[in-house]
Amino acid sequence: MGLEKNCGFDLHSRCQRGPGNRITDVPGVLVGHTTKHSGDVHTGVTAILPRPSDWFHQKVTAGATVINGFGKTAGLVQVEELGTIEAPILMTNTLSVGAALDSAVRYMLEKNGDIGLTTGTVNCIVTECNDGTLNDIRGQHITDDDVRAAIETAGADFAEGAVGSGSGMLCMGFKGGIGSASRVIEIGGKTYTVGGIVMTNFGGPGSFVIGGRHVGEEILRGPRKPVEDRGSIILVTATDVPLTARQCKRVSMRATAALGRVGSSMGNGSGDVSIAFSTANVIPHYPESPIASYPVLSDNYIDIVFTAAIEALEESIISALWHAETTVGRGGRTARGFREAWETYCRSMV
């Protein structure tokens, strides 16, 4: 599933791709979509499960970075404070954050009879981008069933492009969407995986860069000039490298390098949020001992994790655009798929 086999671009990767080249190459991580394409409705939900089940009682370590805070994400305050994730990470459109959050809370209450009774409440994470150009966002079309379906159908194999929460997104003047990639690394003689998934809805027309090549400018045949960088992107990184919450936050910060590589300036009007988590250590909700001990990667060996995360997120962004097909949205507004635009451009150059 290497992207270079599809579009012929050299991403100059230093790390090997995972077997599926998706975030689900990280053992235990699952992804599910609910996609809604009908009339003026082009939206959906994407769910990222950090473990196959029992997220509340068996938490994972996590960290987050708000690169630019033009966004309405819910749940990051507790991630920042406690450094764990205890529920699926949801992605949807901006005006459906409330509906998705309510649904996630109800779902977690049904699965965990102790929440709010014999123990504390639950921290659900809902992230968003604004799909209002192509989608009837004011209609708030995301339902409880949509959220549940995304969670319950999550698996290792999932679609990319204009699917799930990426159904109505735009990016760099083209159709945006969901993209994913992974990298396999070796530390201390052991093999680990770093995977990324993104929801792309950012960047100005003509800004798109692949492997150092200004493909957006080539397609538009326009001069290089500054453009307004608006919109949003959600970036999620997963790994089975044993990382602390502090180290997860450090990994999440490296998303800025991936954004820069594809041409983003992370502008004033862009909501750029990055989350990273490690599945290596289970943090029990009910610990058997007041003292916990877990294996942790030495910071002296973390650079390869940074490199793999940057590469996986960069390719995830490119993959989102490559797989997103041309979409006719609300009021006949059309977002052209990058692959279609690129293939048309290449034919014109022959």
- Enumerate the active-site residues: 232, 270, 272
Please list the alpha-helical segments (H only) found in 58-179. 76-82, 97-111, 144-152
Residue linked to tokens 């793999």:
308
What is the rounded CA–CA span in Å between residue 177 and residue 174? 10
The answer to whether the Cα torsion of 254, 228, 220, 40 is positive or negative is positive
Beta strands of 131-220 (E only): which ranges? 170-171, 174-175, 178-187, 190-202
Distance (Å, rounded) from C-alpha 202 to C-alpha 219?
18
Pairing relationship of beta strands 89-93 and 178-187 according to DSSP bridges:
unpaired
Residue 309 — φ and ψ, nearest 5°?
-65, -45
Copy the structure tokens of residue 185: 């690394």
Whose tokens are 């006949």? That residue is: 332
Q: Is the dihedral of CA 193, 198, 204, 208 positive or negative?
A: positive
* E strand spans, 28-111: 30-38, 41-49, 58-69, 84-85, 89-93
Residue 186 Ramachandran class (φ > 0 left, ψ -120 to 50 alpha, else beta): beta
201 closest CA partner among 253, 141, 273: 273
Q: What share of the chain is helix, strand, coil (3-state, %, to 5)?
A: 30, 30, 40
- Which is nearest to 242 in space by CA: 187, 312, 201? 187
Q: Which residue from 157, 153, 199 is spatially nearest to 21, judged by alpha carbons? A: 157
